[in-house]
Amino acid sequence: MGEEVWVGAWRPHRPRGPIMALYSSPGPKYLIPPTTGFMKHTPTKLRAPAYSFRGAPMLLAENCSPGPRYSVNPKILRTGKDLGPAYSILGRYQTKTMLTPGPGDYFPEKSTKHVFDSAPSHSISARTKTFRVDSTPGPAAYMLPVVMGPHTVGKVSQPSFSIKGRSKLGSFSDDLHKTPGPAAYRQTDVQVTKFKAPQYTMAARVEPPGDKTLKPGPGAHSPEKVTLNKPCAPIVTFGIKHSDYMTPLVVDVE
């Protein structure tokens, strides 16, 4: 009866090679484009229209009236203020006084040459500003031509020779190979190829963390003014130590 359940020659057996059903990994399901949503929708399926929620619209620029948020003074009517005459006490105005010349500021004795005829008079003054910008060359600005050397003017000069220094090109000190010397190489640090020794630096003193705010001292407290757990602050009065009407105790000593 058990053999009639299977159709054909197929019977349950162990698979010859590994199949995806034997593994717990998600498999190639992530490679298939989704059929839901708007982004990366599969091109083989129809995509439904998508709608987005928009925020509240902005206020229109034409609406610039303040509205009823201002409190209008009840004493102001459409014809103006409905108030009686009001006066205020104001200080005295300060007027600016101009300084005027007095009788001592005038010199009538100097007005003779303007009223009467007078002879011409000349005064010695300093150099005017017009001469300071005068760019006319003086006698020391000219130089006579030299009469010695190869640069004489109007004279026949003798042949002149100059002594030149030794040329570095082709001399015994000329380096034809241009090779670096021993000082051109930098010495390799020993710590690059060997173990690096510990290094220490000197830093400033580290302050421990703490509260640096000012704390009240004993003099900042006033226990005599405390009335939280007592009806009132302690009161001290000054009085006599003994009564004047009390008979003192007299002890006879024999």
Q: What is the mean pLDDT of residues 52-70?
A: 69
Q: Is the pLDDT of residue 1 over 50?
A: no
**What pLDDT score was predicted for residue 133?**
59
Q: Is the pLDDT of residue 254 over 60?
A: no
Q: Is the pLDDT of residue 3 over 80?
A: no
Report pLDDT digits (tens) over 13-22.
Answer: 787 877 777 7
- The larger pLDDT score, comparing residue 212 to residue 66, is at 212
Q: What is the mean pLDDT of residues 225-237?
A: 72
Which of 162-166, 177-181, 217-221 reaches the highest mean pLDDT? 217-221
pLDDT band at 205 (very low <50, low <70, confident <90, very high): confident
pLDDT band at 191 (very low <50, low <70, confident <90, very high): confident
Full 3-state SS string of the chain: CHHHCCCCCCCCCCCCCCCHHHCCCCHHHHHCCCCCCCCCCCCCCCCCCCCCCCCCCCCCCCCCCCHHHCCCCCCEECCEECCCCCCCCCCCCCCCCCCCCCHHHCCHHHHHHHHCCCCCCCCCCCCCHHHCCCCCCCHHHCCCCCCCCCCCCCCCCCCCCCCCCCCCCCCCCCCCCCCCCHHHCCCCCHHHHCCCCCCCCCCCCCCCCCCCCCCCCHHHCCHHHCCCCCCCCCCCCCCCCCCCCCCCCCCCCC
Q: What is the mean pLDDT of residues 200-204?
A: 85
Report pLDDT digits (tens) over 88-98.
Answer: 787 777 777 77
- The larger pLDDT score, comparing residue 83 to residue 64, is at 83
Q: Is the pLDDT of residue 166 over 60?
A: yes
- The larger pLDDT score, comparing residue 230 to residue 184, is at 184
**What pLDDT score was predicted for residue 240?**
62
